[in-house]
Amino acid sequence: MSDSYTTSSFYTLNRRYMRSEDCSVIMYGGGGEHVMLNFDQCTETLAMLDYRVTQKTSFRHGAATSKETKMYELIMAQLSDILVHWRKAVADPAHYRSNKVDPGICIHTLDIDMCEGLDTLKALEDKADEMGIPNYTRLLVPFFQSEPCKCTLCAPSIGRRRWFWQCAQKYFATLPPTIFERMFSGLRVDAENAL
C-alpha cells in the first residue's frame, strides 16, 4: 500500500471495494490482490483508450481486428461510466464521507455503482486477456506484497466482520435483492463464519 494511504483513511463497502476519504483513490480486489486506482490515472487511461480506438477505426482493418476494436470500445465505455460516478465524489468529497455513527463505512449508493462498474470492467479485462488482444494493458493489475496483507479488506477482525455486515443491512437494505446479494454476500458469509 502507498505510504500516503493507510486502510484507516479508507471507507469500506464490501470485501472488494474501499474508497479514500478524499475520493481520489479506490482499492479494488481483496484476498491479498488489491488494485489501487487513482482518479487522475484512470482519466489518463480513458484518454489513451480513446486514442487507440480512434487509431484502429480510422484505417481499414480486417475482420480479425473488429473483435479487438469492439473490446477496446466496451472497456472504454465501462471505464467512462465508472469515471462519471467517480467524478461526482472527487468534486464533492465532503458529501460522500462516512457518517459519525459508522465511521469508515461507505454509505452511498454511488459506491455501489462504482463497485459494480469495476466488477464489470474486471470481467471485460479478463475477456480481453482470453482474446489475446495485442498491446492491451490491463488497468486492474493487483500489486503484490511479500507478506500476507493484513488490511481491513483482506483480514478484518471478527468484530469488524460482524459490523461490516450490520452496516450493509442498515444502509443498503432497500437495494434490489440481486444487487444486495452480489455486493454483500461475502460480508454475510464472513459474519456467519465469525459466530
pLDDT at 3 over 50: no
Q: What is the pLDDT, as a whole number, of residue 145?
A: 67
At 138 the pLDDT is 92
Tens digit of each residue's pLDDT (9 = 90 or more) over 20-57? 999 999 999 876 678 999 999 999 999 998 888 887 77
Element housing 152 (H / E): none
- Measured between alpha carbons, how far is 21 from 11 in angstroms, rounded to an integer? 7
More confident residue, 138 or 157: 138
Q: How far is CA 53 from CA 45, 58, 77, 84, in A?
A: 12, 8, 11, 20
83, 114 in Cβ contact below 8 A?
Answer: no
Write down the pLDDT at residue 64: 42
Read off the pTM.
0.88
Return the SS3 of 25: strand
pLDDT tens, 104-129? 899 999 999 999 999 999 999 999 99
| Angstrom distance (rounded) from CA 18 to CA 114 | 10
